[in-house]
Amino acid sequence: MSLEKKERSLLTKLFHENDSNLSTALREYRRFKGLQKGPMSRQALKKMITKCEDAGELGVLKGRWRKQLSSETAEEVVLAVVERASGSQYSSTSARAVSRDLSLPWSTVRKVLRYIVK
C-alpha cells in the first residue's frame, strides 16, 4: 500500500513519540485512522524509517518514476526512421525495426514516434 507523504510523516512521528517502538506506532496509527489492519507490516515500517533517516526526507527518491526522454535520443530515432523509410519500397518503417537498429527499447521508439514526431 502506497502512503502519502503526510501519512508517512505521521507514522514517523508516532514511531519517535513511542520510544522507537514499531508495534506501538502502528497500533496508534490504526487507532487514529480507525483501521483494523495496518497500512504496512512492522518490517516495512522499519525499512521506511531507515530509508527516511538515511536520505533525510520522507518523499520518493529521485529516479523512481519514468525517465524523461533526452533530445539526443529523439533525434537519433527521427533520423533512423527517415533513413529506413527512404530505403523502403513503401516509404515506411516499423518501430520494432528502428529499435533493433538503434538498440533501444521498442517502447522508447514508439513514444518518440507517437508524441514527439507528429
Instruction: Report, as an integer, the average pLDDT of 41-65.
Output: 74
Instruction: Please give the distance of CA 90 from its chain centroid, rounded to a whole number.
Output: 39
Residue 100: per-residue pLDDT? 92
**Is the model's pTM score more than 0.85?**
no
d(CA 48, CA 95) in angstroms, rounded, equals 40
Q: Where do we find the cell 533517516?
A: 53
Instruction: Report, as an integer, the average pLDDT of 66-94.
Output: 85
